[in-house]
Each structure stands twice: as C-alpha cells, then as structure tokens.
Amino acid sequence: MRNILSPENTFVIVGGGLAAGRAAEALREHGHTGRLVVIGDEPQRPYTRPPLSKGYLLGTEARESLEVHPEDWYAEHDVDLLLDTSVTALDWRARAVEVDGGHRLSYAKLLLATGSSPRRLSVPGADLDNVLYLRRVGDSDRLKAAFTPGARIVVIGAGWIGLETAAAARTAGAQVTVLEHSELPLLKVLGREAAEVFAGLHIDHGVDLRPNVQVERITGTQGRADGVRLADGGHVAADAVVVGIGITPNAHLAQDAGLEVRDGIVTDAHLRTSVPDVYAAGDVANAYHPFLDRHIRVEHWANALHQPYTAARAMLGADAVHDRLPYFYTDQYDLGMEYTGYAEPGGYDRVVFRGDVTERRFIAFWTAGNRVLAGMSVNVWDVMDPIRSLITSRSKVDPALLADPGVPLDQVVS
C-alpha cells in the first residue's frame, strides 16, 4: 500500500458534514499550521443538513447555501479535500487510515465526524424505487421532485424528519398520510403534553395522521411502490413513500478498529475516544456530558456545530470540554420551535406551560423536583438564554411563577 501522507503534524478529519467543515475551521483558528485533510464520501464539499428537510426541501434556500464554506475557503486555509472517497479501515496503532484503492494516510491526530445514516425499513417491498429516505442532498432532491400538487405521499414515522417532510409535502400541495406506531408523534421525545401540540398542528394542516399502526409491507408493481399495507389489513395508496424511522450512527469504522462503541463512538468530555489521538464529534459521538453527568449522543445540528471546536482545541492540547446543553429546533408550517436541555422519558415529574397552547404560542418546561431540566419555546423568541440559565443554575422554581407570562423568567426562582 502506498502511504500518501506522512504523519508528521498531519491532522485528518473523516466526514463530509457540518462537523467536519467546522472542525477544519476550528483547527486553523486555534493554530494548527500542519497539514490538514478532510475525507468525505460524498462528491460535495462539507455541507449542513437541516435545510434538507426545511428550506432547501421547500425551495426557499439555494443549494449553495448548504455549504459550510465556499470552494475557495479550503485553498485559502490550506485544507486538502478528498471528496467522493471512503475510509475503509482505521489502524490506530500505526496512526493511519486506509482509503479507496488501498492507499494509507498517516496522521498525528484523527477526528471521526462520520455522522449517521437513516435506519432502513425492514418489510417486504422496502427496496422499491420510490421508497425514499432523507440524509443527503440527492435524497432531498428526490423528495422535492415527488412533492407535487395532488401527489399521494405516505410518511412512515412521525419523528422530526417525518413531520418536517410531511409539512414540506403539504406545503407543496401533496396529499399526506403519516403512519406512526406510537399513540402520538414525538411521544418518547417530548411526552404526551407537548406531543399533542404537534399532532394537532399536522391535523389542522390537512395531514391524515394515523397513530398506533404497524406497517406490514410496501405494495407495488413494476418496481415502484403504490401503497402501504398495514398489519390490520388496511391499505394506503401512495405515489411515493417517505421513511423516517430514526438514524444509526456511522460507527462501523471505529468498531472494526476496536474503539469503544456503544450507541456511537464513546468519548470523554474532551471528545477523546478510547484510543490515543483519535477523537469523535457530531452525530456519531456518544460523549460524556459534565453537566448531565452521563454519556449522551445528540443527533442535532447544534452538536455538529459546537462539538468540533472542543475537539479541535483538545487535539491541539488544550483542556477543552464540551458542556453545552443539547439544543435543537424545527420549522413546520407556521410553527417555529426551539428546545434546550435534556429530559429523558421518565426523568421528569411534570411539564409546566407558559402562554397559549391552543394558539401554539407558549413555552414548555420539563421539571423534576421543581428544577427545570429542559425548555421548549413555540413561536416565542429570544428566551433560550434565560431558559439555559434556569437549567444550569439548578435552582428550584415556583411552578406558578414559571407558568405566568407576566413574570420574567429570571424572577421565577422560589
């Protein structure tokens, strides 16, 4: 095998998404002057993915707006891009990765920002041509082409991707049916009270939302899907089927190399993996969170935006830790939402609402022992900072004051 890079002061980033692009930026900003290589398995330069189910899918954002950096940025910052290239093996003892064709690239430090992949539907007919997933630019292009006025779109799964694509399809004038195995969309993520808000939102916008259903098979002829057969014998006709049943971290490279993998690549708070000089960031990292005092893997944009800065500083020898609270957002129809904190199922004892839930203009707080664990604002803006302060202070709050829109959030502590 030919070694095409010497290890001396060479940093390698594996990945083609936001985390990889930001890591390259952070390494240069924080003083890495050696060779810097980004290896991505897509032909596109590193790009950000949230618009694929939002603005880009809706046609309100151009393709160029997806890119983390414009083309000339990489040359200006002396970053080598190896695009449309897969890393096939990691030899951390020899400090090298192997890429297509058997070439080896040696490194001094390595960052794995390999992201995640959509979980595949495992029923008969799932491999028919117009059964669609969403992860890459081309996937969004195919969805956009399918979302036409009057088209019959069936969405399997009422998580964030399922609901955002359903909203885009309805906005385009398609007929949309959402099939969900749980009683409510996002039930495990938000709990019943907040999940009901999103169920009502989609019903009010004309979505045929069907909870408590099981998909038995995808039906079709001549290699194309024409509907979804349910376990109860029902059948939903479709011109295209969108599958959004979760994602799986792309941790196979690390696992094959013997790194600790448990729902992603396990790291400490510095984003260091279980082997020397290898780090992980973004969707693939199951990182120890100092504030939450547990390992957590966050699949959202903010993690891919911020974790690379911690990883870059740690790679350069700084005592950097990632302790930002999880954050995510969604835009569906006329609803904009932001969420910060962490409230796992069964980990909170009540949800406190402030504002008008029926008008979908409110803040929800997940609390335990009158301490705020997480907060979600719906069509209410500029409140994330005070919500974060309530969470990180661990102060006890008065639920009545917390629910009162007339009381500033910095005055709800009991």
Measured CA distances, 263 to 6, 175, 268, 286 (Å) = 33, 36, 14, 7
pLDDT (mean) for 235-258? 97
Residue 161: partners with Cβ closer than 8 Å, 6 or more residues away: 53, 118, 134, 244
* Count of C-beta atoms within a 10 Å radius of residue 270: 18
Query: CA quadruple 79, 31, 6, 98: dihedral positive or negative?
Result: negative
Note the pLDDT of residue 1: 36
- The mean-pLDDT minimum among 228-232, 236-240, 344-348 falls in 344-348
pLDDT at 5 over 60: no
Specify the pTM.
0.94
- Residue boundaries of the structural domains of the chain: 3-117+248-315, 131-245, 334-411
Q: Does domain 334-411 have CATH number 3.30.390.30?
A: yes
Note the pLDDT of residue 7: 61
pLDDT at 3 over 60: no
* Count of C-beta atoms within a 10 Å radius of residue 223: 9
User: What amino acid occupies position 269?
Assistant: A
CATH homologous superfamily for 3-117+248-315? FAD/NAD(P)-binding domain (3.50.50.60)
pLDDT band at 33 (very low <50, low <70, confident <90, very high): very high
Query: CA quadruple 155, 158, 162, 167: dihedral positive or negative?
Result: positive
pLDDT at 91 over 50: yes
Note the pLDDT of residue 185: 96
Indicate the length of the chain as a whole number: 414
Note the pLDDT of residue 224: 96
- Could you write out the DSSP letters of every residue in 38-83? EE-SSSSPSB--GGGGTHHHHTSS-GGGGBSS-HHHHHHTTEEEE-
pLDDT at 309 over 90: yes
State the DSSP H helix or E strand holding residue 140, giving kind and residue range, or none if neither: helix 137-146
Measured between alpha carbons, how far is 49 from 55 in angstroms, rounded to an integer?
10
- Answer whether 3-117+248-315 and 334-411 agree in fold: no
CATH homologous superfamily for 131-245? FAD/NAD(P)-binding domain (3.50.50.60)
Residue 93: partners with Cβ closer than 8 Å, 6 or more residues away: none
Note the pLDDT of residue 345: 85
